[in-house]
Amino acid sequence: MPHITLELYPRELSAEAKHEIAEALADVLKKHLGSTDTAISVAIDMVPREEWKEKVYDPRIKAVMDTLVRKPGYEL
């Protein structure tokens, strides 16, 4: 039951664009994990720039930097 949460700075994304992003991410999971459509869920969370370090970078990136499969090219 894969679940993806995409966290990004706020931007204008139509419902259609969000759906297309979610479908593209789901396609990757189906291709590489053999997941089915009914098993996959995707959330898109807009995190304001001023909250990024506290809400995303420190707990979800920096805290697990040693185990990240793809590391960011920035530090905060």
Estimate to the nearest angstrom the gap between the alpha carbon of 10 and the chain centroid: 13
Long-range pairs for 30-33 at CB < 8 Å and ≥24 separation?
A: 33/2
Q: Which residue type sits at 8?
A: L
**What sign results for the dihedral spanned by CA atoms 23, 29, 35, 39?**
negative
Candidates 2, 48, 59, 72; catalytic one: 2
Q: Is 10 a catalytic residue?
A: no
Active site (catalytic) residues:
2
